[in-house]
């Protein structure tokens, strides 16, 4: 274990060299190939010996020549974290590990010192772009020699070799990764390995690494590991968003899903002129690209493949005052994100290997657009009966038959999409309410004129028309759409059926994962029954005094117990891109963001990185084959406890999971053995 000792008296007792040497006569050379270091998330494969070494004060990351600035700056950040942190874990090393630990190398001047970590990155120039599906595997070793040529899946033989190796002054640290982004994840792992020595024998401030030699072969189970934050229901400051990125990087998350606009507020500050000089938008000539089918006078006539949808035609309009969306739709003039804010944020996230995927929700959840453009919205704020028109106040949807609706959306996309470098954009499309459109005269009139019945199926066709146009705008801008599950599962939209590369994000129930992948779609999981971090805090409607949160609280154990692949065959499993921890914003702002998200989202992070159980296909450290998947909650508890304190040391206000006494006494706060009778107790 890399846990530093907490109890000083225990430390004093154990670090007596004489005492230690007597223990070292025959240290068990073989440890489980799964690391016992308190790494979070747990690496896929790891094994280690029992010697503790120092990290030299002159320690440096040895980067390839001409490395990309993201790597150079990233390494400097990690070095600062290592040397500026005074974090000492409150979780003690297990008695068994402490017994085996060899600290003879830590003490005074003659101690073994790690002077550098060689960072070997194949794409050191950063030519491979951060995106879905890049190679995220890395190898980290602190060993005497180059690591033995071994399979990615470390087996007992290699581990035995590592643990037995002579371990003298020639030992090295090596990190090998394909891309700079993965190298950053590997540096996080390395940084977690380094602790402040709490031992008397080492000078104060000594940095050390326990359990060397060690070998870690690591890669994630899923390529999409996300956190969703909602900045429309309550405003979150840039400081909060940056801090969230820092915490995400500590958990090896790689996608920030920014649910930026919803009904309550429109916080993106846009420019009036799409073609204006200050906006970074396109000029008039480029605007012509948006003509998808021949039309005269710059008229945009979107192709209607099925002839059953409602067609909207419009001309490009560069004179829509888009600045009014935030000027009138944000909570205040300070509660907005400028284009500069967004661009810098996207860059900051990419510096940490995190993609940012924006979502401007539509056509439901759109009251906030109405302040600037009432004509493109409908059934606004139906107080007190908003529930006829929306799941929560304020009600308001985009009008799918008004030409200006599409001019505004196009204008918003023209300015917003270039700010985000990722291939994916989330198109929203959750909870579209047909009562709303059914109560909208312009919609109903147009349906009647086209002989479209006002049935559920009729409104599906209206929604299909909207979605087809919206997604054509996204695809034309080179983006690949993600949508919430309804367009497929509730509305069976032709647009989705004809574009199987649309990614579906399941949210209402984990059951829907199966339904989605069986139809051939790639899916992002994260449903309310496991991974909604906002559930269970009570209802927030004013006079509903007996109200309850609509979904139950997920504690870290529940979040950790979710298996995104449950019940899927191997072909179906390949369609699961990953998942997200979602924190909707009704009752979240800068004051409680961290506590609601962390460390419960860390549980999600580990499930997505290396799972929640020991895999049945892997061999146990002693060569036995494991016969079934075993949930590893118990083993995870000490690690997540330590990780929580590690995050706190980095100014992330992660909440405690247990009384501190339990953290300091691992295993003593488990569910009791119920048949212990009082007379069984000593004394
Ligand atoms: C729309 O309203 C009409 C008239 O009230 C009603 O007959 C129809 O069932 C409604 N459609 C839907 C999908 O609710
Ligand atoms: C809450 O107040 C609204 C009027 O503002 C009323 O219509 C509704 O019945 C009230 N609900 C409860 C549970 O008292």
* 435 CA → ligand 1 middle, Å: 7
For ligand 2, whether the C-beta of 544 sits within 6 Å is: yes
The most confident of 261-275, 408-422, 625-639, 659-673, by mean pLDDT: 408-422
CA quadruple 31, 36, 42, 46: dihedral sign = negative
- Could you identify the atom of ligand 1 that is nearest to the CA of residue 456? 13
Domains parsed from the chain with CATH numbers: 8-219 (3.30.379.10), 224-613 (3.20.20.80)
345 within 8 A of 356, measured Cβ to Cβ: yes
Catalytic-residue membership of 431: yes
In degrees and rounded to multiples of 5, residue 240 shows phi and psi of: -65, -40
- Residue-wise pLDDT for 547-590, tens only, equals 899 999 999 999 999 999 999 999 999 999 999 999 999 999 99
Distance CA 582, CA 530 (A): 10
User: Which pLDDT value is given to residue 48?
Assistant: 86
Per-residue pLDDT tens over the stretch 600-657: 999 999 999 999 987 544 444 445 454 556 778 888 999 999 999 999 999 999 999 9
Cβ < 6 A, ligand 1 pocket: 434, 438, 454-456, 459
What is the pLDDT averaged over residues 162-184?
A: 86
Ligand 2 atom at minimum distance from 546 CA: 13
State the distance from the centre of ligand 2 to the C-alpha of 541, rounded, in angstroms: 10
The DSSP bridge partners found for residue 505 are: 484, 524
Ligand showing the shortest atom-to-Cα distance for residue 440: 1
The reply to whether ligand 2 has any atom less than 6 angstroms from the CB of 384 is yes
Q: Report how far ligand 1's centroid is from the alpha carbon of 452 (Å).
A: 12
- Beta-carbon contacts of residue 175 (< 8 Å; ≥ 6 apart): 117, 118, 119, 120, 138, 139, 140, 183, 186, 187, 190
Q: Best substitution site from 382, 383, 384 to test ligand 2's pocket, by max atoms within 8 Å of Cβ?
A: 384
Q: Which residues of 486-513 are buried (b: 16+ CB within 10 A; e: fewer)?
A: bbbbbbebbbbeebeebbbbbbbebebb
What is residue 683's predicted lDDT score, i.e. its pLDDT? 55
Q: Which atom of ligand 1 is nearest to the CA of 454?
A: 11
User: Per residue in 484-495, pLDDT tens?
Assistant: 999 999 999 999
Confidence of residue 92 (pLDDT cuts 50, 70, 90): confident
Closest ligand 1 atom to residue 438 Cα is 1
pLDDT, mean over the chain = 85
pLDDT reading at 29 higher than 50: no
Query: What's the pLDDT at 531?
Result: 98
Ligand nearest to the CA of 383: 2
Closest-CA residue, ligand 2 atom 13, reads 544
**What is the rounded distance in angstroms from the CA atom of residue 137 to the CA atom of residue 183?**
9
Give residue 27's pLDDT.
34
**pTM, entire model:** 0.89
Nearest to 104 by CA among 32, 210, 30: 210
Burial class (CB within 10 angstroms; exposed 0-12, middle 13-18, buried 19+) of 285: exposed
Nearest-CA residue for atom 2 of ligand 1: 438
Ligand 2 within 6 A of CB of 543: yes
Buried b (16+ CB within 10 A) or exposed e, 647-678: bbeeebbbeebeeeebbbebeeeeeeeeeeee
Stretch (H or E) spanning 69 = helix 69-84
Percentage of the chain beyond pLDDT 70 is 82
Return the minimum-mean-pLDDT range out of 129-133, 198-202, 241-245.
198-202
User: Ligand 1 centre and the CA of 171: distance in Å?
Assistant: 75
Q: How confident is the model at residue 96 (pLDDT cuts 50, 70, 90)?
A: confident
Pick the residue with more confidence: 81 or 49?
81
377 — pLDDT class (breaks 50, 70, 90): very high
Centre of ligand 1 to C-alpha 434, Å, is: 9
Residue 667 has pLDDT above 90, yes or no: no
pLDDT in tens, 190-234: 999 999 887 666 777 889 998 888 999 999 999 999 999 999 999
CA distance 370 to 362: 13
437-469 tens-digit pLDDT? 999 999 999 999 999 999 999 999 999 999 999
Instruction: Tell me which ligand sits closest to the C-alpha of residue 547.
Output: 2
Which residue's C-alpha comes closest to atom 7 of ligand 1? 454
Q: Going by CA atoms, what residue is nearest to atom 4 of ligand 2?
A: 384
- Token pair listed for 306: 């099925």
The angle that helices 238-250 and 633-649 make with each other, rounded to 10 degrees, is: 140
Confidence (pLDDT) at 383: 79
Q: What local confidence, expressed as pLDDT, does residue 298 receive?
A: 44
Residue 119 has pLDDT above 80, yes or no: yes
Residue 284: what pLDDT?
Answer: 34
Q: How far apart are CA 59 and CA 81, in angstroms?
A: 13
The one catalytic residue among 122, 344, 431, 614? 431
């Amino acid at each position: 274990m890399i846990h530093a000792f907490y109890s000083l008296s225990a430390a004093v007792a154990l670090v007596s060299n004489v005492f230690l040497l007597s223990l070292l006569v025959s240290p068990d050379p073989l440890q489980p190939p799964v690391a016992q270091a308190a790494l979070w998330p747990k690496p896929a494969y790891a094994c280690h010996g029992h010697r503790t070494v120092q990290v030299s004060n002159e320690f440096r990351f040895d980067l390839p020549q001409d490395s990309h600035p993201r790597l150079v700056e990233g390494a400097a950040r990690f070095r600062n974290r290592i040397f500026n942190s005074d974090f000492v874990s409150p979780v003690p090393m297990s008695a068994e590990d402490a017994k085996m630990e060899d600290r003879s190398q830590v003490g005074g001047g003659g101690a073994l010192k790690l002077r550098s970590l060689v960072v070997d990155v194949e794409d050191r120039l950063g030519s491979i772009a951060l995106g879905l599906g890049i190679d995220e595997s890395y190898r980290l070793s602190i060993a005497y020699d180059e690591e033995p040529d071994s399979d990615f899946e470390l087996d007992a033989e290699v581990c035995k070799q590592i643990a037995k190796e002579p371990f003298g002054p020639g030992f090295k640290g090596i990190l090998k990764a394909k891309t700079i982004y993965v190298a950053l994840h590997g540096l996080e792992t390395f940084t977690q390995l380094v602790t402040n020595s709490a031992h008397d024998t080492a000078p104060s401030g000594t940095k050390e690494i326990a359990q060397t030699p060690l070998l870690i072969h690591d890669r994630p189970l899923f390529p999409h590991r996300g956190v969703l934050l909602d900045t429309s229901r309550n405003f979150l400051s840039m400081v909060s968003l940056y801090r969230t990125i820092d915490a995400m990087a500590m958990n090896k998350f790689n996608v920030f899903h920014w649910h930026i606009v919803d009904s309550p507020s429109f916080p993106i500050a846009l420019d009036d002129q799409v073609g204006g000089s200050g906006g970074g938008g396109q000029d008039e000539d480029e605007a012509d690209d948006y003509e998808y089918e021949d039309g005269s006078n710059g008229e945009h006539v979107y192709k209607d493949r099925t002839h059953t949808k409602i067609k909207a035609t419009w001309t490009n309009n560069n004179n829509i005052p888009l600045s009014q969306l935030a000027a009138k739709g944000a909570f205040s003039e300070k509660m907005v994100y400028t284009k500069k804010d967004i661009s810098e944020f996207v860059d900051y996230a990419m510096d940490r290997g995190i993609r940012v995927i924006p979502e401007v929700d539509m056509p439901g959840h759109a009251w906030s657009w109405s302040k600037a453009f009432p004509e493109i919205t409908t059934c606004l704020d139906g107080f007190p009966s908003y529930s006829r028109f929306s799941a929560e106040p304020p009600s308001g949807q985009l009008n799918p038959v008004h030409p200006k609706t599409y001019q505004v959306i196009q204008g918003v996309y023209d300015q917003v999409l270039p700010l985000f470098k990722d291939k994916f954009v989330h198109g929203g499309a959750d909870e579209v309410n047909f009562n709303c459109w059914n109560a909208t005269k312009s919609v109903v009139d147009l349906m009647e004129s086209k002989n479209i019945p006002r049935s559920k199926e009729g409104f599906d066709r209206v929604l299909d028309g909207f979605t087809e146009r919206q997604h054509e705008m996204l695809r034309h801008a080179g983006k690949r759409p993600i949508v919430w599950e309804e367009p497929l599962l509730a509305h069976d939209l032709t647009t989705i059926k004809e574009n199987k590369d649309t990614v579906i994000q399941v949210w209402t129930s984990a059951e829907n994962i199966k339904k989605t992948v069986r139809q051939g779609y790639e899916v992002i999981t994260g449903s309310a029954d496991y991974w909604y971090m906002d559930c269970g805090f009570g209802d927030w409607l004013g006079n509903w005094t007996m109200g309850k949160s609509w979904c139950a609280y997920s504690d870290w154990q529940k979040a950790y117990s979710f298996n995104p692949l449950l019940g899927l065959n191997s072909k179906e499993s390949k369609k699961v891109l990953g998942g997200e921890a979602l924190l909707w914003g009704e009752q979240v702002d800068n004051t409680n963001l961290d506590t609601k998200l962390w460390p419960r989202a860390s549980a999600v992070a580990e499930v997505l990185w290396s799972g929640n159980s020991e895999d049945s296909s892997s061999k146990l450290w002693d060569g036995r084959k494991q016969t079934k998947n075993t949930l590893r909650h118990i083993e995870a508890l000490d690690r997540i406890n330590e990780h929580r304190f590690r995050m706190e040391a980095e100014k992330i206000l992660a909440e405690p999971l247990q009384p501190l006494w339990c953290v300091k006494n691992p295993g003593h706060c488990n569910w009791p053995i119920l048949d212990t009778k009082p007379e069984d107790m000593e004394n």
